[in-house]
Each structure stands twice: as structure tokens, then as C-alpha cells.
Amino acid sequence: MSAHRFLIWGGRGWIAGHLEALLQKQGKEVYTTTVRVEDREAVKIELNRIKPTHVINCAGCTGRPNVDWCEDHKEETMRSNVIGTLNLTDLCFLAGLHCTVFATGCIYQYDDVHPIGGTAYKETDPFNFTGSFYSETKGHAEEVMKHYTNCLILRLRMPVSDDLHPRSFVTKISKYERVVDIPNSNSVLTDLLPAAILLAEHGDTGVYNFTNPGAISHNEVLALFRDIVRPGFTWKNFTLEDQAHVIKAGRSNCELDSTNLENKLKEYGYVVPEIHEAYRLCFERMKAAGTQ
Ligand SMILES: NC(=O)c1ccc[n+]([C@@H]2O[C@H](COP(=O)([O-])OP(=O)(O)OC[C@H]3O[C@@H](n4cnc5c(N)ncnc54)[C@H](OP(=O)(O)O)[C@@H]3O)[C@@H](O)[C@H]2O)c1
């Protein structure tokens, strides 16, 4: 067993569960906690109790049933996504600990300089999507947190698991009555979570667009789902304007440039497949597991 000791915050969350299982599968020493990240004294005690070498922050206020919740619960959202996230990072810094934060790439939207199919957003581009309060808290927190020298910020987007968990992007769009059809960067967890562990174990820091390379549209995802997993599946589209009538907060649509991530992972001999290929592989695993 390695000398690394992982402590995952937000221990009962979806991504936390996947990471814990993966670390266990790799034979790593891993602990989880549900201590509130904004509670400075309790976080200090927890760090002292477990004595991790690596903290992974999977805690975040994501809203239930979705991010619309954050529009009406702004203080709670800030407490977790701004105060708490910074608090945990700061306490790790003071304790000399590496801290990986699962952030979001939903802080951008296509614009004239970054149109659909054009230049993708780099890590250094300032966030420009504040259409939802959830994204606003994440954008602001990242903007200051990136200056912590112990911190690795991984920007997930529309994460996808190999099963049909309700939080997976595929499950969501396959159940909506109507879906928009816009290319987006997505994160296939089976491809990306091992990369998060690699980066953390190497002590890497800074911000990474943490997605598979490329962008894929909703219709492309659903067509692959139909062709590989669920023959005969059908869906209906609607426009962004029509979508705006059924949601409270806006939703980000953008492509992130994953070149920095690809180059860094090359150093460790790890390759993340392009998003169309990644979905094909993901759906084949889903079919093989019989979870459809
Ligand atoms: N899933 C996505 O679509 C997506 C996309 C991009 C980024 N992310 C980010 O990735 C992270 C993990 O997401 P997820 O999908 O695994 O979400 P999740 O299933 O909602 O898990 C988040 C966990 O964080 C905990 N939490 C919330 N506020 C907390 C606080 N103040 N202190 C301690 N724990 C707290 C929640 O516990 P309680 O329920 O007890 O509050 C929950 O168990 C989040 O930061 C999220 O913003 C997710």
C-alpha cells in the first residue's frame, strides 16, 4: 500500500462514492467525511484525526432536484460553494496538505470569440456565465482559490457514469420531455477519475479543464445511447428559448480546451479518449453490465 492517505470530503455524494470505490480498487488508503466544510473548527479536528496526505473536496451545493434550487437558497449555496470550499482549501494549506477540488466548467457560455465549433475556453479565460447562481458561486470561488499553491482545481462538465445514476448527464437528458441540441464538453468519469488520482498523487496544482477532448451535442449522445444501449429510444428537441420557459436558472453551454490536461497526463502515460469515442466505450460498458 502506498504511503498516501486520501480523505474525501462530501463523502455521501455521487462523485465522492465513485472516487472512494476507485481508490479502494487501487488498494489505496481512503477515508470519507461528511463534516461541513464551512465549520472551521470541525474541519481542523477532522484533518487532525485522519491525518491525510491528500484531501479531495467533492463537497458542493448542487441543488435538488437541480441547480434551480440554488436560486432560492443563496446563503446556503454560498456557505458551501464559496465560504466552505475556501475554508477547506485554506486549512489544508495551513496544514501543508495537497487539496484537490472538484470544480465545474459550467462557468462559461459560447460567445463571439468562443462560438460553437470555434475556439474553446482555456483555463485562463475569465468566467463569463453567471446565468445561474450555482455557476456564479463556483466561478467566484475558483477565481480566488486558484492562488492557493496547494490546490488542484479540476473543472468537471456534465459528468457521465457507466450506469444510469440519476445524476449522470445521460440519465438526465434521456428522461427530459424535451432536450436542446448543443455541443458541449463532457466528463466521462471512468476516464477522468483515475486521472484525478494521478494528478493528486504527483502533487500537481493549478486549474485544469477536466473533460474528455472535444465536444458532443445532446442529439449525438442520445443517438449513440439508442444505437448501443436502448434500441428504439426516441426523444424530442426544443430551442434554448423554449427551454428558458421550463427552468429557473440558465444553463451553461460551452466547449473547454482540454489540451493542458492531455499534455500533463501524457507525462504519466495516461490518455483520455476523445468524447465521441469515450461515449461509445461508456455505452458498451453499460450494455455489457446490463444496466440499461
Ligand atoms: N454532478 C454534476 O453535474 C457536476 C458537474 C460539475 C461539477 N460538479 C461538482 O462536483 C462536486 C461533487 O458533485 P456531485 O455530483 O457528487 O454532487 P452531490 O451528489 O450533490 O454531492 C455533493 C455532496 O456534498 C455535500 N455537501 C454540500 N454542501 C456541503 C457542506 N457545506 N459541507 C460538507 N458537505 C457538503 C452534500 O451533502 P449534503 O447533501 O449533506 O449537503 C453531498 O453529499 C460538487 O462540488 C459539484 O458542484 C458536479
Each residue's pLDDT tens digit, 234-261 = 999 988 888 888 888 888 899 999 999 9
Q: Say which CATH number the domain at 168 has.
A: 3.40.50.720
pLDDT of residue 2: 59
Q: How many CB atoms lie within 10 A of CB 108?
A: 26
Instruction: Tell whether 291 is covered by a domain.
Output: no
In a domain, 33, yes or no: yes
Phi, psi of 11 (to 5 degrees): -50, -25
Give me the residues of the chain with pLDDT under 70, please.
Answer: 1-2, 291-292
Q: How many CB atoms lie within 10 A of CB 166?
A: 9
Q: For residue 137, is it within any domain?
A: yes
User: CA-CA distance, 82 to 135, in Å (whole number)?
Assistant: 11
Among protein residues, the one whose CA lies closest to atom 21 of ligand 1: 13
Q: Measured from the CB, is residue 78 less than 6 Å from ligand 1?
A: no
- Is residue 292 included in any domain, yes or no? no
Q: Provide the residue range defining the domain that includes 219.
A: 5-286
How many separate domains does the chain show?
1
Are 111 and 168 in contact by the 8 Å Cβ rule? The answer is: no
Ligand 1 centroid from CA 228, angstroms: 30
**Ligand 1, atom 7: closest residue by C-alpha:** 104
In a domain, 12, yes or no: yes
Long-range (24+ apart) CB contacts under 8 A made by 18-23 are 18/161, 18/189, 18/193, 19/56, 19/58, 19/193, 19/196, 19/197, 22/193, 22/194, 22/197, 23/197
Rounded to the nearest 10 degrees, how much is the dihedral formed by the CA atoms of 153, 154, 155, 157? -160
Q: What is residue 102's three-state secondary structure?
A: strand
Q: Are 78 and 139 in contact (CB under 8 A)?
A: no
Cα(first)–Cα(last) distance of the chain, in Å? Answer: 36
Ligand 1 center from residue 49 Cα (angstroms): 23
Residue 203 lies in a domain: yes
**Does a structural domain hold residue 100?**
yes
Output the CA 59–ligand 1 centroid distance in Å. Answer: 4
Q: Using CA of residue 32, residue 33, residue 34, residue 40, what is the dihedral sign?
A: negative
Judge whether 268 and 202 are in contact, CB under 8 Å: yes
Give a yes or no: residue 237 inside a domain: yes
Ligand 1 center–CA 74 separation, angstroms: 15
- Would residue 102 be called left, alpha or beta, if left means φ above 0 and alpha means ψ between -120 and 50 degrees? beta
Q: Is the pTM higher than 0.95?
A: yes
Give the per-residue pLDDT at 1: 44
CB 160 within 8 A of CB 280: no
pLDDT at 244: 85
Name the residue with the closest Cα to ligand 1, atom 18.
13
Q: Which residue has the cell 460553437?
A: 116
